Structure 1
């Protein structure tokens, strides 16, 4: 049998292909097993180090705030005020909606805008001099004005885009947190314990929602009333759904009604709103797709349909017209 296989080239190829397939399958199984073990260990390590990570993040944030505070103090001591006396409350609200809750955020925002106004034109001048290009007064004035305007408005655009992404993430993740909160309340936990449990469980899945709920829990533990903590949660979120949720819980607490039924009803309403938003986006797709279809596919279709007629006209009618002329 072995001599027959050795003497037949096709049999040798089949044996080699079979051995290769066995080795590949074994390697894929081993790699998938190792990858699953690495994934599980990584998740366990992340869960185990969650508390340490929070402490390190808080210490790093305090250190960063201290550096910014020293820089801002030195700049203001030199005579340049970074406070917006007219719309500081509005600016603070925008920064809070974008996730910047530090007390130094408005002054840091003003400092960044002033720095970009000076840095972008200076960078243009340095690049022009490094490349050996001559800069006329008119070009310097026009380009410098455009770059300074960009440095003035780019931070505002960044804050607006970040606030929009944060609002979308909170809106999409809050119904899941409500379902988990409902389960905790129906299992017998109080509102504070339920908020704490939801904040710890949603750290990986919905970090923004988890941070909001954890802040509300810390307010309750610090001695704030339930109404103050819920209103603070609504102010930190800056989302209409969260404001309605906080108002609903406050009214339920005042009237003495059950929190479980309130959470169940509002969770169903939020899921219905999320489904309606998804349907609205789905209905907008044909309108949005019509633009690339008309711009890209319509010329191609016209060319495919008209090209045979054009070729026929050139080959048939062209010689006739040339002969007649």
Structure 2
């Protein structure tokens, strides 16, 4: 099975050096760190792109022998296109949901970091502590901060670790946080105060996102109201009157 997966993945796997390219970054942003995950991903992509259209072709050829060849070819091409883009769509969906979960929990994690730094802990120690405290409420973000702590303990600088964190999470708020920490370290300003300001900004943005979603609800309700609720109400209210009118017209 491993040999088959290796052969299939090589048909669509990018050229050498993909481990350090945007392909590897996409898997990290989706939270997939298994070293064999890209091989499985591209093997499935190859199967869906080449094998599935052949299966569809044979199925339609034997079950619908009178189907025109042009239409049959169109079905095969559509199946191949869908098979090629389906894994990418699934990957994008997983990444988007993960980023959304981390974005919603980031203000809470920053507030914990403010509490830790104001109590006298360093940024490195605060990152290690909040990665433990947030492991249950948001395991995705806690794991990313834990990896940043491991990087710093392995010898990477704080800025490099935080930049890698922002790259793995693909969060604009974390990019802003890294820039703020760089400026605070460069000019010698208080880390706790800088983190508090950034936490307030992120909390305000979260409230604004919630208000934006609430403002979109009436617009989203227009379609179901017009298609399902209003016709039903009309039938309930006008139905008896229409039946009585039909009976009166019949008797005349």
Return 5+ residue gaps in structure 1 as ranges.
1-66, 321-325
What corresponds to 2:44 in structure 1? 112
Task: Give the drift of 1:206.
Answer: 0.8
Task: Give the drift of 1:104.
Answer: 5.9
Paired residue total: 249
User: How do 1:147-162 residues align onto structure 2 when only pairs under 5 Å count?
Assistant: 147-162=79-94
1:147–1:219: structure 2 CA closer, same or farther, 3 Å change rule? same
Q: Secondary structure at the match of 1:148?
A: helix
Kept in 2, the 8 Å contact 1:83–1:106? The answer is no
Q: Which runs of 4+ in 1 moved over 4 A?
A: 78-81, 84-88, 101-108, 125-129, 134-137
Bigger CA radius of gyration:
1
Tell me the TM-score normalised to structure 2 length. 0.85
1:79–1:171: structure 2 CA closer, same or farther, 3 Å change rule? closer
What corresponds to 1:268 in structure 2? 200
CA distance in 1, matches of 2:157, 2:108: 25
1:255–1:108: structure 2 CA closer, same or farther, 3 Å change rule? farther
Deviations 1:258-290 (A, max 9, x none): 111111111111111111111111111111112
Q: What is the RMSD of the two structures over their aligned residues, measured on CA atoms?
A: 3.1
Task: Give the drift of 1:188.
Answer: 1.1
CA distance in 2, matches of 1:206, 1:234: 16
Q: Secondary structure at the match of 1:82?
A: coil
User: How do 1:232-247 residues align onto structure 2 when only pairs under 5 Å count?
Assistant: 232-247=164-179
Match for residue 96 of structure 2 among 164, 175, 186:
164
CA distance in 2, matches of 1:238, 1:279: 23
Kept in 2, the 8 Å contact 1:233–1:246? The answer is no
Q: Does 1:187 align with 2:145?
A: no
Match for residue 217 of structure 1 among 124, 149, 153:
149
Task: Give the drift of 1:166.
Answer: 0.9
What corresponds to 2:110 in structure 1? 178
Task: Give the drift of 1:299.
Answer: 1.1
User: How do 1:1-325 residues align onto structure 2 when only pairs under 5 Å count?
Assistant: 75=7, 80=11, 82-84=13-15, 89-101=21-33, 108-124=40-56, 133=63, 135=65, 138=69, 140-320=72-252
Tell me the TM-score normalised to structure 1 length. 0.67
CA distance in 2, matches of 1:114, 1:79: 9
What corresponds to 1:20 in structure 2? none
Task: Give the drift of 1:150.
Answer: 1.6
Return 5+ residue gaps in structure 2 as ranges.
none
